[in-house]
A and B are shown apart, each in its own frame.
Chain A
């Protein structure tokens, strides 16, 4: 695999969505090619950053409202 092919497949690699032998081929390339390894590091950091900054806590009163809604549905259905 050359660098172009690696870059096309790097996210699939990170997602664990490649076949086993392709996972290995990418892994071997990354261990031998600093630019591609660096490219993946950028994507890993980017993804972690997006995930971290997309976290939202459930408003506590919303949890209560959901449970009340289900309780009402349950008693209404009986």
Chain B
């Protein structure tokens, strides 16, 4: 893909718009060289405003900051749209602008330090406390009953307990349905890093929510799932 630099904002991503469903294969890049007409920006971009707002709210954890971030994103998007190639992934491009704006602006002034050392896994209190339960998390039944018993607040708390570096890939994959390659471009990190952070972030989420279910007596910990083998 030949990068075409927009006036502001990142270069467009060469993938068709729209989230992928669970078992769909990753989309193939189909990029036409036609340049987007700035007049079309509202019509094309505003359909993603709700998603971008939700993304911004998850990044900032603050409604006022999220609204500012969304406005900044769309203004930058509009300014950069003249250089945007139609046929590229407008949705991922807007996510990238929002994420970059957050990293460059809002994250710096946040009260809570977000960049914890992602390799110091041992510091994660919950993870330590429940220890070996993560293996059992894969074997609980019936799963839907467990998840239904866990409140929205608990899910949000578990998400918030994830360091930003883990939380963002998890949300981009599981909530927004982006492919690994799209996430790599949105966050500007290598695809291998996306995969390892996704894996660790999801594991932490599982452990957190599963341990909650155990604490509340909803499920019995199942200590030896690996004994069932083929």
- Which residue numbers of A lie inside 8 Å of B, CB to CB? 1-4, 7, 11-12, 14-17, 20, 29, 32-33, 35-36, 38-39, 41-47, 49-51, 53-59, 62-63, 65-67, 69-70, 73-74
- In the complex, the answer to whether B155 meets A53 with C-beta atoms within 8 Å is yes
- In the complex, the answer to whether B230 meets A32 with C-beta atoms within 8 Å is yes
Q: Which of B156-210 contact A (CB under 8 A)?
A: 156, 159, 170-171, 173-175, 179-180, 195, 198-199, 202, 205-206, 209-210
Chain A residue contacts of B139, Cβ below 8 A? 35, 38-39, 42
- In the complex, the answer to whether B155 meets A70 with C-beta atoms within 8 Å is no
Chain A residue contacts of B22, Cβ below 8 A? 14-16, 44
- Which residue numbers of B lie inside 8 Å of A, CB to CB? 20-26, 38, 41-42, 46, 49-50, 53-54, 57-58, 67, 70-71, 74-75, 78-79, 137-141, 143-144, 146-147, 150, 152, 155-156, 159, 170-171, 173-175, 179-180, 195, 198-199, 202, 205-206, 209-210, 225-226, 228-230
- In the complex, the answer to whether A47 meets B174 with C-beta atoms within 8 Å is yes
> Which applies to chain A's interface (DSSP): helix, strand, loop or mixed?
helix
A42 and B206 contact, Cβ closer than 8 Å, known pairs A17-B179, A73-B79: yes
- In the complex, the answer to whether B156 meets A70 with C-beta atoms within 8 Å is no
CB B22 to nearest CB in A, in angstroms, measures: 6
Chain A residue contacts of B70, Cβ below 8 A? 62, 66
- In the complex, the answer to whether B49 meets A11 with C-beta atoms within 8 Å is no
- In the complex, the answer to whether A69 meets B226 with C-beta atoms within 8 Å is no
- In the complex, the answer to whether A59 meets B53 with C-beta atoms within 8 Å is yes
Give 9 A-B contacts (CB < 8 Å), ordered by A residue: A11-B198, A16-B22, A42-B139, A46-B147, A50-B159, A51-B175, A59-B67, A62-B49, A74-B38
- In the complex, the answer to whether A58 meets B205 with C-beta atoms within 8 Å is no
- In the complex, the answer to whether A2 meets B140 with C-beta atoms within 8 Å is no
Task: For the complex, give the distance between the alpha carbons of A56 and B170 in Å.
Answer: 17
Nearest 7 pairs of A and B residues by beta carbon: A39-B138, A56-B54, A58-B50, A42-B143, A45-B143, A35-B228, A47-B174
Chain B residue contacts of A20, Cβ below 8 A? 25
Residue of A nearest to B25 (CB): A16
- In the complex, the answer to whether A62 meets B209 with C-beta atoms within 8 Å is no
- In the complex, the answer to whether B24 meets A16 with C-beta atoms within 8 Å is yes
Residue with the greatest number of chain B CB neighbours at <10 A, chosen from A41, A46, A62: A46
Chain B residue contacts of A57, Cβ below 8 A? 50
Task: For the complex, give the distance between the alpha carbons of A53 and B224 in Å.
Answer: 31
- In the complex, the answer to whether B147 meets A49 with C-beta atoms within 8 Å is yes
A50 and B229 contact, Cβ closer than 8 Å, known pairs A42-B140, A66-B71: no
